[in-house]
Amino acid sequence: MRTFSLLISCVTLLCLTTLNSFAAETFIVSGNPKAPPVMWEEYNKLTGVGPDIAGAILKELNLDYDIRIEGNWQQVQDKCKSGEVDMIVAAYKNDARAAYMDYSMPYLPQPTVIIVDGVVKTLL
């Protein structure tokens, strides 16, 4: 019984330490700096509705965060995959990204269209 109590105490201490260290870290948020109207680079900062929504959610969760440009779109994805970026604002869901990212519910409908010879084809 003493061993079990010691084990429970160690696991509890480990969990509390992990939570405290996570809370002390800054949550890094980035995205494609060339994706208007959702987000774009302005005065060396990401701006637009995407960063605004991400900031509001993280503020509500009381997380320390930094929304910043982490390079071009490919560099942002690579940094997310390696763990250097914690959240990407506005990424289309595909199988390759789903392997290393979780997705929220879409916050903005953005249909993709192809125009061929003046005819609009909507992709859903």
Domain harbouring 114, CATH code: 3.40.190.10
User: Could you report the per-residue pLDDT of 6-29, keeping only the tens digit for each?
Assistant: 333 333 333 333 444 455 589 999
For residues 36 and 48, is the Cβ–Cβ distance under 8 A? yes
More confident residue, 123 or 42: 42
- Note the pLDDT of residue 6: 34
Stretch 27-50: mean pLDDT, rounded?
Answer: 94
Q: How many domains does the chain have?
A: 1
- Note the pLDDT of residue 13: 33
Q: pTM above 0.75?
A: no
pLDDT(116) > 70: yes
Tokens of 22: 């996570």
> Residue 66's domain spans which residues?
2-123
Q: Which residue from 90, 112, 114 is spatially nearest to 103, judged by alpha carbons?
A: 90
Local confidence band at 61 (pLDDT 50, 70, 90 cut-offs)? very high
For residues 49 and 67, is the Cβ–Cβ distance under 8 A? no
pLDDT(88) > 80: yes
